Homo-oligomer: A and B are copies of this chain.
Amino acid sequence: MRMKSISQITGGTITSPQGFQAGAVYAGIKKEETKLDLGILYSEVPAEASGVFTTSNIRAAAVTLCQERLKKYNKISTLVVNSGCANAYTGNQGMKDCEEMASLAGEAAGVSPEEVLVASTGVTGQLLPMSLIREGIKNIVLSPDGGRTLARAIMTTDTVPKEAGVYVKSSDGDYTIGGIAKGAGMIHPNMATMFCFLTTDARVESRFLKAALKKVVDISFNMISVDGDTSPSDTVVILANGMAGGNVISTGSAGARRFQKALNEICITLAKSLARDGEGATKLIEVAVNGARGTSQARIAAREVIGSTLIKTAVHGGDPNWGRVIMALGQSGIDVELERIDLSVGNVDILESGRPLPFNEASVVRALDQNEVPIHINLNMGRGTATAWGCDLSEEYVGINSEYMT
């Protein structure tokens, strides 16, 4: 029997790779005492690190700190993260607090402060409650099973923690990749109020790690949409500590493609779980675009369809209003001709060459009523393909976001 070269680990998480530990506590930043809100990820040896951050022109303090540190140092061994307060739009004091948070975490983990990254999510425009953080950080207990706990500590309006891990068999040596993520609101192409922290025990060369991370973010977290808004805190970070041994994976090396493939698998899994758990979401929508004039046009089309409020509500209500898909393609600005478009929802063909096929309305309603709603579009203009994920828009989304602060 041939073993699969990349296999999902049941219960896989950010501490699945060797040499990573994590822990979290309730420090009091969130109102609800039953929730965790402060955690640390720790690598037993300094790890190659790379990050991708929000595209917003106004960034949270933690993003600025991460970007500066990753520019100066490649080796990171600790990440401290809190939920409940994003420390965004907080000026100089916010920056000072963020640096202190890194120092406190460095002390707790026994590493120098510049080996620490910070991530904060939650309400914007408020300073971190530093006294609570100073107190709370001392109580964090790191453990090799701590991934589950950390995944819960980064949740805001998420209803479930998002974790994944894959085990990779490779001629360069076997290794593991793990990750946790949070999302829920402000999820849109170009990331969102989202975190994804990834770890691997593979030996990965710094430049390749950076390129691989950029590539995977483009096809995973940059292809999901909940509500069209971009947060000032979006952060994807990967730490590679090399503790699995094996050959160094670098651009063009024997194992490079497999590493990218494994990374894609884990990030797409996490991205889909973010979309599925969007605020108020009841369904995962998957939009696959084929036949676009190039990949970039396929990406634009898939993102436009997944981002359309009218399509989100139609899917929510099980309304077979396929005209809204054509509307989204039309407004996307890509090269498109109605007479070439094939469209199907679930396994029901709706349009062929732009002409409505006779279909049973009940079967479309049934397809829209599933937990996963796949929308397939062939533009028949070229060879570009892309896939995007999102969720339906429900009355509950409005409820959640009408009263987030109050």
A401 touches B309 (CB 8 A): yes
B394 touches A316 (CB 8 A): no
A199 proximal to B (CB < 8 A): no
Smallest CB gap from A321: residue in B? B405
A310 touches B125 (CB 8 A): no
Contact flag A405-B319 (CB < 8 Å), given A230-B327, A309-B309: yes
B186 touches A310 (CB 8 A): yes
A28 proximal to B (CB < 8 A): no
**A357-404 with Cβ < 8 A to chain B:** 365, 393-395, 397-399, 401-404
**A300-339 with Cβ < 8 A to chain B:** 307-310, 313-314, 316-324, 326-336, 338-339
Which of chain B's residues have a CB closer than 8 A to the CB of A355? 91
A185 proximal to B (CB < 8 A): yes
B354 touches A317 (CB 8 A): no
B227 touches A316 (CB 8 A): no
Contact flag A320-B405 (CB < 8 Å), given A56-B327, A229-B310, A326-B58: yes
A124 proximal to B (CB < 8 A): yes
Nearest-Cβ distance from residue A194 to partner chain B, whole angstroms: 14
Q: Provide the bound-state CA to CA distance between A397 and B399, in Å.
A: 12
Name the contact of A404 in the complex, choosing from B124, B232, B319 (C-beta under 8 A): B319
Q: Provide the bound-state CA to CA distance between A57 and B337, in Å.
A: 8
Which of chain B's residues have a CB closer than 8 A to the CB of A59? 330
A227 touches B320 (CB 8 A): no
Smallest CB gap from A320: residue in B? B405
A231 proximal to B (CB < 8 A): yes
Contact flag A313-B229 (CB < 8 Å), given A125-B322, A318-B406, A356-B125: no
User: Which of A56, A91, A335, A356 neighbours the largest number of chain B CB atoms within 10 Å of its CB?
Assistant: A56
Smallest CB gap from A88: residue in B? B323
A346 proximal to B (CB < 8 A): no
Contact flag A402-B185 (CB < 8 Å), given A327-B231, A330-B56, A333-B57: no
Smallest CB gap from A124: residue in B? B323
A123 proximal to B (CB < 8 A): yes
A228 proximal to B (CB < 8 A): yes
Contact flag A316-B88 (CB < 8 Å), given A57-B333, A229-B327, A309-B309: no
Q: Provide the bound-state CA to CA distance between A185 and B311, in Å.
A: 12
Q: Provide the bound-state CA to CA distance between A334 and B57, in Å.
A: 8
Nearest-Cβ distance from residue A109 to partner chain B, whole angstroms: 30
B319 touches A403 (CB 8 A): yes
Name the contact of A316 in the complex, choosing from B307, B321, B329, B402 (C-beta under 8 A): B402
Q: Provide the bound-state CA to CA distance between A175 and B404, in Å.
A: 51
B327 touches A124 (CB 8 A): yes
A55 proximal to B (CB < 8 A): yes
Name the contact of A313 in the complex, choosing from B332, B336, B338, B401 (C-beta under 8 A): B401
A89 proximal to B (CB < 8 A): yes
Nearest-Cβ distance from residue A316 to partner chain B, whole angstroms: 5
A310 touches B354 (CB 8 A): no
Which of chain B's residues have a CB closer than 8 A to the CB of A334? 57
Smallest CB gap from A317: residue in B? B402
Which of chain B's residues have a CB closer than 8 A to the CB of A402? 313-314, 316-319
Interface string of A72-99 (1 = CB under 8 A from B): 0000000000000010110100000000
Interface string of A131-142 (1 = CB under 8 A from B): 000000000000
Q: Provide the bound-state CA to CA distance between A308 and B32, in Å.
A: 28
Task: Other than A124-B321, A229-B324, A398-B398, give 9 A-B pairs with Cβ distance below 8 A.
Answer: A86-B323, A88-B326, A190-B331, A228-B308, A313-B397, A313-B398, A313-B401, A393-B398, A395-B395
A residues bordering B, Cβ < 8 Å? 55-59, 86, 88-89, 91, 123-125, 185-186, 190, 227-232, 307-310, 313-314, 316-324, 326-336, 338-339, 354-356, 365, 393-395, 397-399, 401-406
